[in-house]
Structure 1
Amino acid sequence: MLSVRVSVARPLSAQVRESLAQDPTVCGLIVVPGAALDGHGDVILFEMTRENANNIMRSLRHLGVPEEGGIVVSEPLVVVSDAADRAEKVAPGHPADGVLWAQLASHAEEDARPSVSFFVFLLLATLIAGVGRILDQPILIIGAMVVGPEFAPLAAISYALVRRRRGIVAPALGTLLGGFAACAAIAWAVWALLYGLGVITFAQATTGTATEFIVAPDAWSFVIAILAGIAGVLSLTTAKSSALVGVFISITTVPAVGTIGLTLAVGAWEEARGSAIQLLVNLCGLLIAGVATLYVQLLTGRWRGLRAARLRRRPRQRSSARVRMLSIEEDARQPRRARGARRDG
């Protein structure tokens, strides 16, 4: 379940309450009159199922709530409520499979913008990967994979392509490629200095069977990138963050960037080319998998949305049928009353 707080202007409050009250996947509806917009609006609190959250958010936007107020969604740790249990049973699908697109949009917009922390983590991961290649230590390569933050802008690009948010693609792509270029350049400067001082040798930078896979991409590199991309997107959309660690240590993006800087510094052009191909293969695989996974989730969500819309119409149909039945019974009573009145007359 998700907890929602809506601040709405008073003229829209009745429409919002009616829309929420008719939805069987909504429970715990509370209205606090005059508590929002400096006394000119109401605060509406309620819980909604994650499976049907997108439909409810769409309805609130259609009513104009964001323009006249605001919507805040949070996820409670524990919900103990029979009404919530009934709402979950009615909602189509499973809570773990529900994708909250508004949340993804917020994360994508944030991750698309470059930040100091992003570049610092990426630079540290790049340098760690370079040391791992020099020492031929896979554990350092794994550490660099975990530290690297590059999956965030990759996920933002995937989301933007699926949802056709062109305003996110360019900044996210700039953050990703700009970060790789800047970190590779800094790594090149560091390793070139150490190479010139004799701290590292050409052989150290170009040999090592345990980390040879970085400079030798093959078909399996693309397969692993596809699988990791699917797992990464699913971990983000289903709030299974523990799976992200496995994703990070499956992709060879940061190790490739670190090795590019290292091999260029010592003049190992062939290995630099292999690292660049490895980076390109991984990026393509991750993006293809990310876009495909999100698109499948989008289609699945629309199908669940149609089922939820039918559920919303059922109470209305029953209530309208009951009104019609009462009207028919009332019409049937009127002639009897008229005949009784004539007898009394």
Structure 2
Amino acid sequence: MHLRLIVPPDRSERVLDGLVADPGVSCVTRVPGAAHRPAGDLIECDVTREATSDVLVRLKTEGLYDDGSVALTSVDSAPSRNAQAAEKAAPGAPDDAVIWDVVVDQAYNEAGGSWVYYVFLTLATMIASVAVVTDSSILVVGAMVVGPEFGVVAALAVGLFLRKGGLTKRSLMLLVKGFVLAIVLTAIAALLARAVGWVDASDVTAA
């Protein structure tokens, strides 16, 4: 992971020393006074996935989440010897490392909602209603594929697990609003289809 930090000048030395001393960190650079909003020093480094969460905890303790800036990006490849040495020094395996700050940030994004979410959830519910009328298991699977609610359910799980009330409430409300809207629109579409003679009660009640 590549870490870009904006650090207030009064904390820059402590943060820099901590990064340099961490065996899971490599390629540490510093540009004094480079940042203007927020003001401070620009510090960048590469961190192994296994060490990222510990590094972020130290940065949060230093107040960078409030007074500075922390940005993470994924590094696709780091073939240098320094990066490989840092990877060997970090305990555990990269694939097993969970960066909780990234998980929480993604969860909040999923719980934000958008018109695309409502459109696809309504489309999935309509496909599922056709599956009920036609007794088609394939269409049920299709509705599951189209449905966008997985990310919101995952965000709800993260909120419950980490006891983040705001995230839990946002996720739950988005699920409720999304499904209520999708069900209402699907019911209206079903009534219209029945009115024009495309379906009738026997399509649903027949064996």
| TM-score > 0.5 by shorter chain | yes
- Measure how far apart 1:145 and its partner are: 0.8
1:78-117 to 2 correspondence within 5 Å?
78-117=77-116
Shift of 1:94: 1.0
Query: In structure 2, do the counterparts of structure 1 residues 88 and 129 end up closer, same or farther at CA, with 3 Å as the change threshold?
Result: same
Equivalent in the alignment of 1:223: none
Instruction: Tell whether the 8 Å contact from 1:9 to 1:37 is kept in structure 2 after alignment.
Output: no
Deviation at 1:207, TM superposition (A): 4.8
CA contact (8 A) 1:126 1:184 kept: yes
Cross-structure match for 1:318: none
When residues 142 and 39 of structure 1 are mapped into structure 2, their CA distance, relative to the original with a 3 A threshold, is closer
Larger gyration radius, structure 1 or structure 2: 1
Is 1:149 equivalent to 2:152 in the alignment? no
Match of 2:45 in 1: 46
Alignment of 1:68-217 (within 5 A): 68-207=67-206
For 1:310-321, what aligned pairs fall within 5 Å after superposition? none
Give aligned pairs, total: 207
Q: Distance in 1 between matches of 2:8 and 2:133?
A: 63
Shift of the 197–39 alpha-carbon distance from structure 1 to 2, 3 Å rule, reads closer
**Structure 1 vs Structure 2: percent identity of aligned residues?**
34
More strand by share: 2
Moved over 3 A (4+): none
CA displacement 1:283-309 (0-9 Å, x = unmatched): xxxxxxxxxxxxxxxxxxxxxxxxxxx
Higher helix share: 1
Q: CA RMSD in A?
A: 1.7
Counterpart amino acid of residue 125 in structure 2 = T
| TM-score between both structures, scaled by the size of structure 1 | 0.57
Separation of aligned partners in 2, 1:36 and 1:160: 33
Q: CA deviation at 1:203?
A: 2.8
1:113 positional shift: 2.6
What TM-score, normalized by structure 2, do the two folds share? Answer: 0.93
1:16-55 aligned at under 5 Å gives the runs 16-37=15-36, 40-55=39-54
CA distance in 1, matches of 2:89, 2:111: 37
Runs of 5+ in structure 2 lacking a partner?
Answer: none
